[in-house]
């Protein structure tokens, strides 16, 4: 009898320990559900910054946070963006499942079959119409305005790459290499140093279009789950790119999940122009960056000269202030 009681107590202990782990990992996390409407009331949470950027740069994050907002764009805008993406994906046939990444600014597309550039093909001018490029450009510029509004940043530059990702959860697909394993926890700036602000614009609906595929945010140590975000069309997610925002995407288990991913930088030398001209582009806009730095140096010299010409205020003037 005593031995049986010990066994029962031990089993109860295991159950309690398991529930405790579940509670720490998931119980305290904030769920932003797909049917939550954040068009009027924006969700925002501040997190401690984990970067060592110079404080005098007014573009760099001073307050690191995560911002979620719905219906920044109309339903028509989202549908047009989806149709643009589907035109690009169609060039790869039905695909094999897993991730397909499309950047219509540079022409690059990548899936399990490898990397290619659509704009180097003989029929490249038939894939996208001029209106497609115009619409895509309008979306990107509006997203930049939203990032500026959400972060209070200044001198923010669009940077590469920016792409629409399709995650296909068909049965039987398995990753060919590490790049196909999109479900690992990471911080964007750990992968690309010039990223300062990250964003996602969802084009499909959780549970309706796909299962899995939620975004999970962790604390800076990646040990505790803090937020779970379920995608819905038109939902925009903006966050600082540093290690204060480790996150991952759950593996998509069925259907197809579409999202526009974008990044902005405070480094003018890493600016990537919004070309959208149907031509292949592979380099940062060094000319723009060099021009910006030259203008900044000239302005600093002018400010120094103006300061040297200023007359010191008299005691009476100072007392009047």
Beta-strand runs (E) in 230-304: 236-240, 247-249, 254-265
The DSSP letter of residue 162 is E
SS3 (DSSP) at 308 = helix
CA distances from 75 to 56, 133, 134, 135, 146 (A): 40, 18, 17, 13, 18
Set 214, 224, 257, 301: catalytic member: 257
Name which of 199, 96, 101 is nearest 146 in CA terms.
199
Scored b (16 or more CB within 10 A) or e, 209-225 reads bbbbbbbbbbebeeeeb
Catalytic-residue membership of 257: yes
SS3 (DSSP) at 277 = coil
Residue 84 burial (10 A CB sphere; 0-12, 13-18, 19+) = buried
Return the percent helix, strand and coil in the chain, to nearest 5: 35, 25, 40
Q: β-strands 215-218, 225-229: how paired?
A: antiparallel
CA distances from 234 to 37, 87, 180 (A): 11, 20, 25
CA distance 69 to 38: 5
Active-site residue set: 257
């Amino acid at each position: 009898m005593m031995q049986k009681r010990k066994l029962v107590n031990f089993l109860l202990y295991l159950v309690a320990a398991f529930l405790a782990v579940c509670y720490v990992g998931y119980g305290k996390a904030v769920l932003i559900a797909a049917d939550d409407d954040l068009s009027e009331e924006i969700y925002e949470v501040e997190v401690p910054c984990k970067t060592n950027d110079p404080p005098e740069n007014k573009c760099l994050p001073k307050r690191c946070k995560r911002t979620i907002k719905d219906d920044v764009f109309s339903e028509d805008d989202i549908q047009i963006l989806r149709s643009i993406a589907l035109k690009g994906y169609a060039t790869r046939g039905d695909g094999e499942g897993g991730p397909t990444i499309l950047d219509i600014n540079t022409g690059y597309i990548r899936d399990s079959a490898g990397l290619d550039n659509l704009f180097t093909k003989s029929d490249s001018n038939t894939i996208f119409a001029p209106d497609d490029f115009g619409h895509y450009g309008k979306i990107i510029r509006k997203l930049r305005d939203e990032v500026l509004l959400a972060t209070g940043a200044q001198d923010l530059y669009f940077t590469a790459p920016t792409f629409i990702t399709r995650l296909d959860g068909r049965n039987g697909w398995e990753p060919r290499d590490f790049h196909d394993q999109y479900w690992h926890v990471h911080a964007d700036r750990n992968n690309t140093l010039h990223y300062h602000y990250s964003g996602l614009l969802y084009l499909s609906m959780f549970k309706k279009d796909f299962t899995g595929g939620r975004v999970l945010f962790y604390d800076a140590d990646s040990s505790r789950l803090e937020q779970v975000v379920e995608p819905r069309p038109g939902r925009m997610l903006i966050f600082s790119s540093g290690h204060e925002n480790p996150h991952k995407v759950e593996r998509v288990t069925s259907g197809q999940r579409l999202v526009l991913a974008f990044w902005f930088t405070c480094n003018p030398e890493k600016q990537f122009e919004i070309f959208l001209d149907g031509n292949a582009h592979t380099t940062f806009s060094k000319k723009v960056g060099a021009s910006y730095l030259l203008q900044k140096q000239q302005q600093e010299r002018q400010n120094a000269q103006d300061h040297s010409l200023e007359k010191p205020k008299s005691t009476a003037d100072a007392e009047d202030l």
